């Protein structure tokens, strides 16, 4: 397999993996957590980690949830983000494995939340991390894939800069 094909294979595997895990976990959340209601979470690790059903019509942290035409705008934004990911993938060097994985995670996360927005008009969230009384907003596997993918992109950016040979003066 050529290095050029390998980058598309890695991207496709991580896109599919994050998308499948996201949609599967959201199906389970709608089946098992929605009937419990928002005030009866499933405690996984007391004081740190709960599963609690939530619906988010906006973007991260429920921003833009009341914006007129928000569903259409956010759908178009997700499609544009995925097209941008594909464009960036095309431009990446064949040996940038970490970047291909990162782009796959970002692509899968974007599509995962896009599927929810198109099918249901809102995104299903259910993972809640907390420490003591502080609680982070609920999120899902797609959000986690997006964050990990962006984190890997940042790491790649710093490591690639460090590995680059110094420019002659």
143 belongs to the catalytic site? yes
**Cα atoms in the 13 Å half-sphere on the side-chain side of 168:** 0
Our count of domains for the chain comes to 1
The residue from 22, 50, 116, 125 that is catalytic is 125
Q: What is the average per-residue pLDDT within 34-38?
A: 92
Q: Would residue 95 count as lying in a domain? A: yes
Residue 112 located in a structural domain: yes
Catalytic residue (one of 22, 50, 143, 156): 143
- Do 105 and 143 contact (CB within 8 A), yes or no? no
Strand boundaries in 57-146, DSSP class E? 123-131, 134-135
66 counts as catalytic: no
Is 51 among the domain residues? yes
pLDDT at 67: 60
Residue 154 belongs to some domain of the structure: yes
Whether the pLDDT of residue 164 is over 60: the answer is no
Quick: pLDDT tens for 87-125.
999 999 999 999 999 999 999 999 999 999 899 988 999
Q: Residue 131: give the domain boundaries.
A: 3-163
**Contact call for residues 87 and 103 (beta carbons, < 8 A):** no
Cα-atom radius of gyration of the chain, to the nearest Å? 18
User: What pLDDT shows up at residue 134?
Assistant: 92
46 against 70, higher pLDDT: 46
Residue 169 belongs to a domain: no
Give domain status of residue 124, yes or no.
yes
Establish if 113 belongs to a structural domain: yes
Closest CA to 117 of 145, 79, 61, 68: 79
Q: Do 107 and 11 contact (CB within 8 A), yes or no?
A: yes
């Amino acid at each position: 397999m050529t290095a050029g094909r390998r980058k598309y294979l890695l991207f496709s595997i991580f896109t599919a993996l994050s998308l499948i895990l996201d949609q599967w976990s959201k199906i389970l959340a709608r089946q098992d957590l929605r009937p419990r209601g928002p005030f009866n979470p499933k405690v996984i690790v007391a004081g740190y980690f709960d599963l609690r059903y939530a619906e988010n019509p906006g973007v991260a942290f429920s921003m833009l949830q009341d914006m007129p035409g928000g569903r259409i705008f956010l759908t178009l934004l997700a499609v544009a983000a995925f097209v941008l990911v594909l464009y960036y993938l095309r431009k990446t060097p064949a040996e940038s494995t970490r970047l291909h994985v990162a782009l796959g995670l970002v692509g899968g996360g974007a599509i995962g939340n896009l599927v929810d927005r198109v099918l249901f008009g809102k995104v299903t969230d259910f993972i809640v991390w907390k420490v003591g009384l502080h609680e982070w907003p609920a999120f899902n596997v797609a959000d986690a894939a997006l964050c990990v993918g962006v984190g890997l992109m940042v790491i790649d950016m710093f490591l690639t800069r460090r590995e680059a040979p110094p420019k002659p003066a």
